[in-house]
A = this chain, B = another copy of it.
Amino acid sequence: MKIIRRIAILLVMFLSASDYAVLYGQVVRPRLLLSAADVRLMRESLGRYAWFDKAYGEAKEAVDRACASPIDVPKPVDAGGYAHERHKQNYREMQSAGILYQVTKDERYARFIRDMLLQYADLYPTLGKHPMAASDEYGRLFWQTLNETVWMVHAAQAYDCIYDWLTIADRGTIESKLLRPMARFLTIEHAATVDRIHNHGTWMVAAVGMLGYALNDTNLVDIALYGTKKDKKAGFLRQMELLFSPDGYYAEGAYYVRYAIQPFIILAQAIENNQPELKVFEFRNQILKKAIVAELQLTDANGRFIPINDALKEMSVLSQETILALDVAFLRYGDRGGWLAMAQKQGKVSLDASGLAVARALQNQGTPTTFASRSVEYIDGPLGDEGGIGILRSGPPDDQSMLVMKYGAQGFGHGHFDKLGFLYYDRGREIVQDYGAVRFVNVEPKFGGRYLPETESWSKQTIAHNTVTVDGTSHYGGVYRVAQEHHADRHFFSAANPAIQVMSGKIDGAYRGVSMQRTMAMICDSALPKPVILDLFRIDSKQKHQYDLPLYYMGQFIHTNVAYRAFDSARTRLGLSNGYQHLWKEAEGRAAGSVAFTWLQGDRYYSMISAADTSTFVMFTRIGAGDPNFNLRSEPGIVLRRNAASTVFATVLEPHGYFEPVNEISLKATGRVKEINVLVSTAEATVVEINGTGSLHWLFAVVNGEASTEASHSITVGGKTISWKGNYSLWKH
């Protein structure tokens, strides 16, 4: 007995509280993003890794400041003003305070969380639907459920961190007046959102799941994992199956994945800490890893997300969400190619075991391998059969051409009617832009920081994109419900040869009786300083239609060969609906041969040369009409209009020359390419010729029929037969 007592004493001396908990079958906390082991490791690591110390120091400074200030839990009133921002600040501070409490065991932090949660527990039962609620997805603390779930994801972590410290009475108050009612609000009042396959749904299941673990409530956890009916037709795992394509492309696109990845990552961490047997990071061939790789690839040379769909252009890999995602990915998968370098670029790590892992690696390794952005295609749809998005790149990161073409699915409610649209960047600068969304996020005087009406009326519409609008209406009649059921198709994507990279996509159903195919090539030539873009937009129809192809160039109009009439004393709009009402018509004219237009962006000139004859009408436009609230950016465009049945818009984009205003240097303000002609376009193939100064004579052929790298083709052009093998061919004479 004495020996046994001694052993017991030894146990008391060497076991931690959590070890006891394990011994006695209790819940070991913290258990959500942090495990007890993580906390020990973090504590021991302080002062050893500069990057981690920085994260710790910043959190400590912010939370210490918060602890020294009065707690404010204001009545919810706005959708983007003080109360809205304060509740966001509160959940961030609580979450950080929880981590700090665990690491330091300083009770100031625990008291801060307790006091705040008790104030929320006082407030919450008094709340009904938020006064600014604008849809079924209303919240109580916030105007929309989305923010409410984000609040919960953070608050659940804070609660978990101080759970063991709280009195039973306080736990009772917090759970009965706040957490349980919120759980009911979320899982019952918003059951539809729990089961929704959508980023709001992901945040919802993350909130419910985190709360489930925090409350040690298996029912909530199961709802989060498998849907309200627990039949696995919804819930977290199903979302991982349906929201990503097999290669990790997120259905809503590049900007949204940044936001959507966070609840995936957070809940996955909590699951891994509590139900490792689910092997969530291995799920679907490591779909989370693929998603993060895709997220990082879908950025411009400055790390900003390619702004397709309802995107805000400034958003980048520097965002908190991406920092956390990358750190967790590093922890779970190791460095899968330049991830450490990307973390270094982010300049911060997250304050948890994953951030610690990155900090340690950054400290112990030399200069990490650069993240290699490359030419890549992502297929779209859960099964990968709903078209895709292609990115062609050429040149080193600091002097890179990037071309993006979209030929995938709609991407839910934030998707745009922009099939076969493209974006073109040079050195991280937008040269041909996608407008993105019309929104000033969190800017209170701008509709509470929400999406502005012009997102629907302008930026989602087809005419707002660099693709063809038929008869002045958007794809699928601009009806989301229809568009969401259809998708474009990939034709081929070929990036193996750096001298010529080509991608091609097709869409048949966007307009009745009109088939479209767009082929875009990035061509390097030793005689040209930068790659040129070749763009063949083939339209096939039995009926005559009006085809409008805009180019939203960024920069200063320098020159055009189109004899135009300028509307410079009075100005009207291009149309009355479908986005046309937002375009001023600045000038119009008729082509006389290939249209040439040159603009200046930064220190480089760009020219567009497009096959045309007098049947092509050219309009110079400016965004900003129909905008009584000054929500739009005043930016230019050029629109090619043609009334035809079948036709091909064949265009070259050529970067050239140099402008340096400090030393007053302007070189080669005129490009080399002078004309492009469509020689033939049949069901089998399209052939164009490109002519320019200095003996530039190119012939390019692309297959319109079934794609195959092996098939041979021959076609007669002007009495002469040309032959090639594969999907395309380029001849330089």
Binding site for B on A (CB under 8 A): 80, 85, 312, 314-316, 318-320, 440-446, 449, 556-559, 566, 568-573, 581, 584, 586-587, 598, 600, 620, 622, 625-630, 633-634, 636, 659, 661-667, 669-670
CB distance from A568 to the nearest CB of B (A): 5
User: Residues of B contacting A622 with CB < 8 Å?
Assistant: 634
Closest Cβ neighbor of A312 among chain B residues? B661
Q: Are B440 and A556 closer than 8 Å at their CB atoms?
A: yes
Q: Which residue of B lies closest to A598 (CB)?
A: B445
With contact pairs A630-B557, A661-B314 given, residues A666 and B568 touching in the complex (Cβ less than 8 Å): no
With most chain B CB atoms within 10 A of its CB, the pick from A318, A581, A636, A662 is: A662
CA distance A633 to B626 in the complex (A): 21
Asked if residues B666 and A558 are in contact (CB atoms below 8 Å), the reply is: no
Check B663–A319 contact: CB distance below 8 A. Answer: yes
Q: Out of B571, B636, B669, which one reaches A443, CB within 8 Å?
A: B669
Let me know if A571 and B568 touch, CB within 8 A. Answer: no
What is the minimal beta-carbon distance from A728 to any residue of chain B, in angstroms? 33
Identify the closest chain B residue to A320 (Cβ): B663
Shortest CB distance A285–B (Å): 31
Of B316, B443, B661, B667, which is within 8 A of A315 by CB? B661
Contacts of A444 in B (CB 8 A): 666, 669-670
Q: Is the CB of B627 within 8 A of A666?
A: no
Q: Which chain B positions have C-beta within 8 A of A80?
A: 666
Which residues of the other chain, B, contact A584 by a CB distance below 8 angstroms?
571
Choose from B85, B442, B626, B669 the contact partner of A569 (Cβ within 8 Å). Answer: B626
Contact of A316 among B445, B573, B662 (CB under 8 A): B662
Task: Tell me whether A665 and B445 are in contact (CB under 8 A).
Answer: no
Pairwise interchain contact A558-B442, C-beta atoms closer than 8 A: no
* Residues of chain B contacted by A568 (CB below 8 angstroms): 625-628
| Chain B residue nearest in CB terms to A259 | B664
Query: Apart from A442-B665, A568-B628, what 9 extra A-B contacts exist at CB < 8 Å?
Result: A85-B666, A315-B661, A440-B600, A443-B558, A445-B598, A446-B559, A566-B628, A570-B570, A620-B630
Question: What chain B residues lie within 8 Å of A661 (beta carbons)?
Answer: 312, 314-315, 441
- Which residues of chain B are within 8 angstroms of A446 by Cβ–Cβ distance? 558-559
User: Could you write out 25 A-B pairs with CB less than 8 Å apart?
Assistant: A80-B666, A85-B665, A440-B556, A440-B558, A441-B664, A442-B666, A443-B558, A443-B600, A443-B659, A443-B669, A444-B670, A445-B559, A445-B598, A446-B558, A556-B630, A556-B633, A557-B630, A566-B628, A568-B626, A569-B572, A569-B573, A570-B573, A587-B630, A634-B634, A634-B636
Residue of B nearest to A80 (CB): B666
* Cβ distance A559 to chain B, nearest Cβ, rounded Å: 4
Interface pair B556/A315, CB less than 8 Å apart: no
Residues of B within 8 Å of A667, CB to CB, are 85
Inter-chain contacts of A570 with B (CB < 8 A): 570-573
| Given known A-B contacts A449-B666, A667-B85, A569 and B625 have beta carbons under 8 A apart | yes
Determine how close the nearest CB of chain B comes to the CB of A440; give it in whole angstroms: 7
